[in-house]
Amino acid sequence: MEKTTVLECRNIEKKYKSKSNGEDLQILRGVNLNVNRSELISIVGSSGSGKSTLLHILGGLDRPNSGDVFWHGNSIYNHKPEKLADLRNRHIGFVFQFHHLLPEFTALENVMMPALIGGTGHSKASERAADLLDRFGLKERLEHRPTELSGGEQQRVSMARALMNNPSIILADEPTGNLDEKNTESILELLFELRETEGVSVVLITHENDIARRCDTVYSLHHGVLG
Ligand SMILES: Nc1ncnc2c1ncn2[C@@H]1O[C@H](COP(=O)(O)OP(=O)(O)OP(=O)(O)O)[C@@H](O)[C@H]1O
């Protein structure tokens, strides 16, 4: 089958100013990456090597100093901020190690949020959110707030939220970093299943080589370059 490139980055450079002496810290030095439809990619690298920075740039959350990111061939950083926010909300699902659920909302409301922001009506959003939570084994937890959920449950809610708008790609930053083996396995199985059933692409940052090896392609970020 022909490969369709969903997301692509070219010659990404990223520097931060050192907080201590004001000098430039060069984090990414010309990173190139192609993410194809249904592809599972993992990125490994030592702490501080720039993995999260790269993921944020890929997802339109942080602008590179130079280089470009293309969504189906169109440069995302050329978009106006509202169009970029809309692209993120519709097509990209983010999952982080710390789930970033909104504490004052229930599991159901947290999952509904991206659809409501995208203009979906309340009852349709509620129905889909409940379906997703049911699929993730959380049928009995719809009305629980994040503090009333275990770590693994919170992460599954966060996955459901990431999937709410049927994204084409999931960008996951150590999504199993603080989970036990059983919960880690269930999150990974969900990610792998989505690729099979919905052709979703996944870029997964992980510290664990065992997890990385289960992906189609493994990249290592070292001295600002992806190899
Ligand atoms: N806003 C910022 N200002 C200055 N320096 C930053 C900023 N964000 C990140 N950095 C620095 O950039 C480097 C890369 O950070 P990043 O979070 O991308 O690394 P990482 O590979 O994801 O690390 P870890 O595996 O520990 O999560 C780090 O040295 C960090 O201190």
Helix or strand holding residue 132 (H, E): helix 122-135
Domain count, the chain: 1
CA of 16 to the centre of ligand 1 (A): 9
Instruction: Tell me the pLDDT of the chain (227 aa) as tens digits.
Output: 678 999 999 999 999 988 888 889 999 999 999 999 999 999 999 999 999 999 999 999 999 999 999 999 999 998 899 999 999 988 999 988 777 899 999 999 999 999 998 889 999 999 999 999 998 889 999 999 999 999 889 988 998 999 999 999 999 999 888 778 888 888 888 888 888 988 999 999 999 999 999 999 999 999 999 99
Joined together, the tokens standing for residue 110 give 């947290």
The structure tokens 């592809």 sit at: 39
Q: Is residue 29 part of a domain?
A: no
Name which residue sits closest to atom 2 of ligand 1, judged by CA: 16
Nearest C-alpha neighbor of 58 from the set 5, 126, 118: 5
Q: Is residue 118 part of a domain?
A: yes
Q: Is the CB of 47 under 6 A from ligand 1?
A: yes
Name which residue sits closest to atom 29 of ligand 1, judged by CA: 48
CATH number of domain containing 53: 3.40.50.300
Q: Is residue 85 part of a domain?
A: no
Q: What is the pTM assigned to this prediction?
A: 0.91
Mean pLDDT of the chain: 92
Q: Is residue 101 part of a domain?
A: yes
Q: How far is CA 52 from CA 97, 153, 161, 207, in A?
A: 11, 23, 20, 12
Q: What is the DSSP string of 135-163?
A: HTT-GGGTT--GGGS-HHHHHHHHHHHHH
How much of the chain exceeds pLDDT 70, in percent?
A: 99
Q: Is residue 173 part of a domain?
A: yes
Q: Is residue 67 part of a domain?
A: no
How much of the chain exceeds pLDDT 90, in percent?
A: 70
